[in-house]
Amino acid sequence: MHSKERGLLTLMCACVVLVVGMVAAINLAVPMLAASDLHPSASSLVWIVDTYVIVFACLVIPGGAAGDRFGRKGVLLAGLGLFAAGTLLSAVAPDVVLLLAGRAVTGAGAAAVLPNSLAVLLHAVPARRRPATIATWASMTGIGGVAGNAGGGLVLASGSWRSLFAVAVPIALTAAALVARLVPVSSRHDRRLDPFAAILLIAASVALLVGIVQGPEAGWGSPVVVTGFAGAAVLFAAWTLRELKARHPLLDPRLFRIAGLRSACLGMTTIFFGMFALFYVNASFLQYAKGFGVLGTGLGIIPLTVPIVLGGRHAGLLTRRAGLTATVVLAFAFVGGGLLGLSTSDTQTPYAGYAAWLVVTGIGVTLALPALSGVIAGSLPPAQAGVATGLQATTREFGSALGVAVIGTVLTARFAAALPPDARGAHTVAEALARTSHAPEVVSAFVAGADAGLRAVGVAVLVLGALVAADAWRHRS
Per-residue pLDDT tens digits for 433-451: 888 777 889 999 999 999 9
pLDDT above 90 covers a percentage of the chain that reads 38
The C-alpha atoms of residue 306 and residue 381 are separated, in whole angstroms, by 33
pLDDT tens for each residue of 89-130:
999 999 999 999 999 999 999 999 998 888 888 777 777 777
pLDDT tens for each residue of 170-198:
999 999 999 999 888 776 666 667 888 88
* Phi, then psi, of 41 in degrees rounded to 5: -75, 175
pLDDT tens for each residue of 219-257:
778 898 899 999 999 999 999 999 998 887 877 888 888
> Would you call 199 exposed, middle or buried from its count of C-beta atoms within 10 A (0-12, 13-18, 19+)?
middle
Task: Assign 313 a pLDDT band (cuts: 50, 70, 90).
Answer: low
Distance of CA 180 to the CA centre of its chain: 28
| Residue 351: DSSP 8-state | H
Closest by CA position to 468, among listed 376, 386, 401, 337: 376
Q: Which amino acid is at 173?
A: L
Same fold across 1-186 and 256-477: yes
Q: Nearest 5°: CA angle at 141, between 138 and 146?
A: 140
Top-level class of domain 1-186:
mainly alpha
Distance of CA 122 to the CA centre of its chain: 24
* Phi, then psi, of 436 in degrees rounded to 5: -140, 160
The C-alpha atoms of residue 352 and residue 204 are separated, in whole angstroms, by 42
Are the beta carbons of 370 and 264 closer than 8 angstroms? no
pLDDT tens for each residue of 32-77:
998 899 989 888 998 999 899 989 988 888 888 888 788 889 999 9
Domain ranges of the chain: 1-186, 194-249, 256-477
Determine the pLDDT at residue 433. Answer: 83
Fold classified for 256-477? Growth Hormone; Chain: A; (1.20.1250)
What is the DSSP code string of 51-86? HHHHHHHHHHHHHHHHHHHH-HHHHHHHHHHHHHHH
What is the DSSP code string of 294-347? HHHHHHHTHHHHHHHHHHHHHHHHHHHHH-HHHHHHHHHHHHHHHHHHHTT--T
Closest by CA position to 143, among listed 13, 53, 270: 13
Task: Assign 477 a pLDDT band (cuts: 50, 70, 90).
Answer: very low
Rounded to the nearest integer, the mean pLDDT of the chain is: 87
Determine the pLDDT at residue 237. Answer: 95
